[in-house]
Structure 1
């Protein structure tokens, strides 16, 4: 069975590489609390919880830095066929503001979930997401050292661009892994003469690999280690190492360490950029069986640390429409 899973994932890796190309682009959005809802980085996750789940996430990054990123997203996903639980559907709206740039993305995600064993404790999901991204640039917020720069627009500009994402996600009751590609259609419109060079921006294509497990320490405590690797094919490869401890399925306490490493030789490696990024503290509390609140604080460990006051992130999640099924263990991935 594992050989078949590996072959299917290897096939998707080949497909993802067909979409990969070098583009002039910006880094993609990343949430520290992706561990609570991986729909933001993998469309195949849609419907994993096998009940409808809505989440709001707000992130303020690098407090104290003018023009620092501010991000918000709202999503909902669940199962279309409650009996067989083979089809997942999810919708996500994300807004991101960095200085004079403002981006809004709408995505619809569909996942087809294959049952791998008789007692239905293992599933392999294939997902696709389609949507649209609106890029906005506020020219009046751009200041140059010398006036009359023809490369800088003084007007507000806006454009729409199609978006597609692909993913595969495997889970059992006690471990999971996933691979995905986001912003497959992203890239610079270098041949577009109707826009100023300053608006030649787009989010970069990103590949994500996630993996994690669940360890039952005692009836009242479980440990959930996880890993995320993010690759944009140009800049340093990013890795998140996370550990969450779950108490009575009500309180989650954990920490995360984010850093960079050289996965392969790239032109940017010659710049000798620092690899340190941040450490995070994360907490999630179930106020009721269906409503949860999460908070995380990121402390920057790079040279930027002396110029800002960290990053704050808050999430709120609501579960509804439970499927009538007895789980071997709750859906904690």
Structure 2
């Protein structure tokens, strides 16, 4: 119970929060970059569920789903997407929904290399449930009563360039957060701030190299930055076996890159190590699982993080699409 109180107080007292980051984002970057829409060449439906810090009361639980599709055309230049996400932490819940558009510019005659520009707009509902709080004294003025919520608009933009062998992407999310700093709730002269997030910048890149006729290696990285807290960096590496099974992992750490005078000194740099497996149960159905080993001082108080994902590619009428592998 004590740890839950620490988590809740830390979240409520902060002006802005870190974006949710899935360990398996590498298999669907649409969750961080709207310009990724249409990359797979067909309609793609994806879902993911993450239960963080198992064993900690009120620990984060996140569920998300997305769909993206190409607009029929000779050069397949346009694509759309839709995303929904629910994130629950103790008495707080954030529900997000958005729609996105991407314009895909062919950079060669076959369209295998493209520069994609994307943007998205949406809305976020922030909710605090006072009934989820536990207290000792009845009628404590510091404990909110009942449930209340606020709606806030949101926007994101991105650019994504890919070839058959490598890719690079840059995206900015939660762009309207700075204009919604007044999102807060008040009970009995007590002010509680929501889970409102700050604007984030994402830079990611990766490539695929064949090691043999049946084995490929895919290294990648993601840099996540909000210019307020430590910079977060993910280093990933996966082996693809027979174009069916992905085996690999991710190392997540925090770096102090900028001169941030207000940033607390002595913060831990290590965060987590994730073991990840993805399997193509059929040529169009992907199933994934990851387990995060927490490497920070929180490790003794929790039992790891579980994440399950599923993705389904809905093939178009062009049969040749099934012969085109998608590594990113």
State the TM-score, normalizing by the size of structure 2: 0.89
User: What runs of 5+ residues in structure 2 fail to find an aligned partner?
Assistant: 1-13
SS in structure 2 opposite 1:136? strand
Residue matched to 1:253: 247
Q: How does 1:106-125 map to 2 (within 5 A)?
A: 106-125=97-116
Displacement of 1:154: 1.6
- The two structures, once aligned, show a CA RMSD in angstroms of 2.1
Give the Cα separation in 2 of the matches to 1:299 and 1:167.
30
Matching of residue 308 in structure 1 with residue 302 in structure 2: yes
| 3-state SS in 2 of match to 1:234 | coil
Are the aligned partners of 1:25 and 1:188 in contact in 2 as well (CA < 8 Å)? no
Distance change in 2, residues 1:277/1:198 (3 Å): same
Match of 1:330 in 2: 325
Matches within 5 A, 1:129-168: 129-143=120-134, 150=141, 152-168=143-159
Per-residue deviation at 1:52? Answer: 0.7
- Give 1:117 deviation, angstroms: 1.9
Partner of 1:66: 57
**TM-score, scaled relative to structure 1:** 0.88
Match of 2:282 in 1: 288
- Pick from 23, 38, 45: which aligns with 2:36? 45
Check conservation: 1:129, 1:166, Cα contact below 8 A. Answer: yes
Could you tell me how far 1:270 is from its partner in structure 2? 3.8
Pick from 225, 235, 245 the counterpart of residue 231 of structure 1: 225
The answer as to whether partners of 2:223 and 2:234 remain within 8 angstroms in 1 is yes
Say whether the 8 Å CA contact 1:181–1:206 is kept in structure 2. yes
SS at match of 2:192: helix
Please say if 1:207 is aligned against 2:201.
yes
User: Structure 1: which 5+ runs fail to align?
Assistant: 1-22
Indicate if the aligned counterparts of 2:235 and 2:251 stay in contact, CA closer than 8 A: yes
Cα 1:330–1:293, aligned 2, differ >3 Å: closer, same or farther?
Answer: same
